[in-house]
Amino acid sequence: MRIRLFCLLVLFSVSTAQAQVPEVETILILGDSLSAAYGMEVSESWPVLLQERLDEQGYAYRVFNSSIAGDTTQGGLARLPRLLEKQRPAIVLIELGGNDGLRGLPLDVTRKNLAAMIEQSRSAGAEVIIAEIRIPPNYGPSYTQKFNAIFHELAKQESVTLLPFLLEDIALEPGMMLPDGIHPTAAAQPVIVDAVWEIAQAMLDAPVSRNGYRP
């Protein structure tokens, strides 16, 4: 009798403890070199700083960074289904398109790829943040303007959150960019994570349902 009572008490204690532990949700970052710790230690990169911020603020989220230097929207689209299946993210942050623009790839292809990633992420039950990307005018003003407009247009059309251009406040600041003028330095990462946090925190504070919508 005592042994049975002891076992019941142990089971009740374990069940209570498990009920009190919040489910850890995942933030999936699907990006290129701007998010892949290019030219710095991984520990200095903004995705790692984002995880540290989440932990400090007591949010039950983990950051899964699937960013690859040189990746395009086509590459991201090809990788996404497997990532969604394995990680089951609550939030997907898409930071892709820069390499499309730098290579002069067709604008309609970039747009379609981004739209497909948004749709796939939503279908998997995730909220979506799309990062604004800008490119230098290597292919003339018409291409550049149309490229830069893709992200605002998609955010509006698809009703997803737009993350303003990550290099907005650092591109012209001394010590914030590598000599190539494209990639941010380690010193710029805290500025970037502040910008990401400003956008992401509202999502983090909203209740999440696994159908991908937050009331």
Is 205 a catalytic site residue? no
Indicate if 33 belongs to the active site.
yes
Residue pair 144/126 in contact (Cβ under 8 Å)? The answer is no
Q: Is 71 a catalytic residue?
A: no
Q: Is the dihedral of CA 67, 98, 164, 162 positive or negative?
A: negative
Return the structure tokens found at 45: 């990169």
Tokens at 132, concatenated: 């604004």
Which residue in the list 45, 55, 66, 180 is annotated as catalytic? 180
Catalytic one of 33, 35, 66, 67: 33
Q: Are 25 and 60 in contact (CB under 8 A)?
A: yes
Catalytic residue among 13, 15, 32, 183: 183
Q: Are 166 and 187 in contact (CB under 8 A)?
A: no
Tokens read off for 14: 């374990």
Active site positions, annotated: 33, 180, 183
